[in-house]
């Protein structure tokens, strides 16, 4: 018998023999109920000890009906469940192979299911309870955000520095793509460059790590420059966040540097390009090529309206976006487009996928850039900054970052640094 149970029973005995003002039988009953309560196994809002629990994953070709039939539920009941569920969650169409599901079954020899729980993501779940009437609802597992700090000194590259400290590479991506994309070239860091970062990790049900949630603030010393970055919400209604330095200057530009996150610059804009295949004749290249595997997402480099999404000649499948009266961009050789003509897209939205359509010798996206109706080299343009913080918000921003900057400044670079420092800062109230 477990030690905890022995201690509890001993406590019951003491209550039984010493309690004068309370019926000993009632005291025993109360204490026993507390023991039972402690032994509950709660998940998805159910006490799993009340059921035989069967867990599996959706297999290729599986349907809700087939899963139910395998578990002794007849077709009339399956039809009733599917019909009543479809307004909340269409189980006939939305079950994805590889995603887990749980069946809560009766604790008898028949083991008849009364509840089907499907998890479309590690955080979300759908409950279909059909013990009596059919009840369908969606929910989320409890989420906890843990604030952490990290520091590093670059020897070769940031990926190696993070790996040696056991830190997520997502931190490198967020610093390179979301924060310092226009102020630091992470392919050209110098030995001795160093950084501090305050970020939050996400945990589901206390113990399931769900990755880096967001970076709250960062500090990067690069080639002698000290670069602060603070996250700040500029539109509470839309939940728009951006990164600003200590003087409230937006660190972002109106355009991303490249339309793919993981790609290699393979050919630059060059009006004097000569190609051996064409007898070394001048064949101007008015685009900038980024090589990447087929299927790599292609992003809109700025907000704008899709004015073309089609296929034409050597361009293959492509998307063209007008950003304003001055700037237009085009993305060629897609395997497929993800947007249609007339759609409004935001910076970073996926508009298509890398392919080899049209005239191309390998998978890449040819990125073309127009300024005032003329194709130009995007890397040689002084592109506009993103929308600055409004005067009405600037004062609030400066108050907001004061304690965060102090926290950053009090994080020291040490030769033998601890890998992680963590403090729980918020917990999702969902039960």
CATH code for position 326: 2.70.70.10
In a domain, 281, yes or no: yes
In a domain, 305, yes or no: yes
Range of weakest confidence among 94-98, 141-145, 174-178, 349-353: 174-178
Tell me which DSSP letter residue 156 carries.
S
Could you tell me the pLDDT band of residue 20, with boundaries at 50, 70 and 90? very low
Are 235 and 247 found together in one domain?
Answer: yes
Are 268 and 373 found together in one domain?
Answer: yes
pTM to 2 decimals? 0.63
Are 404 and 317 found together in one domain?
Answer: no
- The pLDDT score that the predictor gives to residue 26 is 55
Query: What DSSP line would sit under 273-305, residue for residue?
Result: -EEGGGTTEE--B-EEEEE--TT-EEE-SSSEE
In a domain, 40, yes or no: no
Are 77 and 54 found together in one domain?
Answer: yes
Where are the extended beta strands (E) located within 85-193? Answer: 100-105, 113-118, 124-129, 135-140, 143-153
More confident residue, 305 or 263: 305
Are 189 and 214 found together in one domain?
Answer: yes
Query: Residue 427 has which token pair?
Result: 């917990």
Are 14 and 60 found together in one domain?
Answer: no
In a domain, 41, yes or no: no
Are 318 and 236 found together in one domain?
Answer: no
Rounded to 5°, angle at Cα 220 from 217 and 224: 150
What are the tens digits of pLDDT across the range 336-392? 999 999 999 988 899 999 999 998 889 999 999 999 999 999 888 887 777 778 888
* pLDDT at 430 exceeding the cut of 60: no
Range of weakest confidence among 24-33, 54-63, 229-238: 24-33
Of 86, 113, 140, which residue constitutes the final position of a domain?
140
Are 90 and 109 found together in one domain?
Answer: yes
* pLDDT at 427 exceeding the cut of 90: no
Are 245 and 393 found together in one domain?
Answer: yes
| Residue 109: other Cβ atoms inside 10 A | 6
In a domain, 258, yes or no: no
Residues counted in the chain: 431
In a domain, 257, yes or no: no
> Structural domain tally of the chain?
4
In a domain, 360, yes or no: yes
pLDDT above 90 covers what percent of the chain? 56
CB 299 within 8 A of CB 317: no
CB 125 within 8 A of CB 95: no
Could you tell me the pLDDT band of residue 38, with boundaries at 50, 70 and 90? low
Are 242 and 159 found together in one domain?
Answer: yes
Could you tell me the pLDDT band of residue 92, with boundaries at 50, 70 and 90? confident
Of 83, 107, 140, which residue constitutes the final position of a domain?
140
Range of the domain at 228: 144-252+389-427
- The pLDDT score that the predictor gives to residue 298 is 96
- The pLDDT score that the predictor gives to residue 360 is 87
In a domain, 39, yes or no: no
Are 283 and 371 found together in one domain?
Answer: yes
User: Domain containing 171 — which CATH number?
Assistant: 3.10.450.350
Are 365 and 393 found together in one domain?
Answer: no
Of 117, 140, 163, which residue constitutes the final position of a domain?
140
């Amino acid at each position: 018998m477990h030690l905890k149970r022995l201690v509890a029973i001993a406590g019951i005995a003491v209550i039984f023999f010493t309690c004068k003002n309370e019926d000993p039988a009632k005291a025993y009953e109360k204490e026993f109920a507390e023991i039972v309560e402690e032994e509950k196994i709660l998940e998805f809002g159910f006490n799993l000890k009340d059921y035989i629990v069967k867990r599996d994953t959706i297999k290729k070709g599986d349907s809700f009906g087939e899963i139910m039939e395998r578990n002794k539920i007849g077709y009339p009941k399956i039809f009733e469940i599917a019909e009543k569920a479809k307004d909340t969650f269409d189980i006939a169409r939305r079950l994805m192979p590889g995603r887990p599901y749980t069946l809560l079954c009766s604790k008898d020899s028949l083991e008849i299911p009364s509840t089907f729980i499907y998890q479309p993501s590690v955080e979300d779940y759908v409950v279909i309870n059909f013990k009596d009437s059919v009840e369908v609802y969606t929910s989320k597992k409890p989420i906890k955000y843990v604030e952490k700090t990290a520091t590093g000194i670059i020897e070769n590259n940031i990926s190696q520095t993070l790996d040696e400290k056991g830190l997520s590479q997502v931190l490198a991506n967020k610093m390179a793509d979301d924060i310092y994309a226009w102020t630091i070239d992470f392919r050209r860091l110098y030995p001795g460059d160093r950084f501090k970062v305050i970020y939050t990790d996400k945990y589901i049900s206390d113990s399931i790590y769900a990755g880096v949630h967001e970076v709250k603030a960062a500090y990067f010393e690069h080639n002698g420059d000290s670069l602060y970055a603070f996250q700040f919400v500029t539109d509470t209604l839309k939940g728009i966040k951006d990164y600003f330095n200590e003087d409230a200057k937006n660190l972002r530009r109106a355009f991303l540097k490249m339309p793919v996150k993981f790609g290699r610059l393979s050919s630059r804009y060059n009006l004097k390009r000569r190609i051996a295949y064409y007898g070394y004749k001048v064949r101007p290249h008015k685009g900038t090529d980024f090589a990447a595997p087929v299927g790599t997402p292609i992003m809109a480099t700025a907000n704008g309206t899709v004015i073309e999404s089609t296929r034409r000649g050597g361009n293959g499948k492509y998307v063209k976006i007008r950003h304003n009266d001055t700037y237009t961009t085009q993305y060629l050789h897609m395997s497929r487009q993800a947007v249609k003509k007339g759609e409004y897209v935001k910076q970073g939205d996926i508009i298509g996928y890398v392919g080899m359509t049209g005239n191309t010798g390998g998978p890449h996206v040819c990125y073309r850039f127009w300024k005032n109706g003329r194709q130009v080299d995007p890397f040689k343009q002084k592109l506009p900054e993103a929308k600055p913080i409004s005067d009405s918000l600037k004062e609030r921003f400066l108050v907001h970052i004061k304690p965060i900057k102090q926290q950053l400044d009090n994080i020291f670079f040490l030769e033998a640094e601890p890998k992680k420092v963590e403090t729980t800062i918020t917990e999702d109230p969902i039960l």
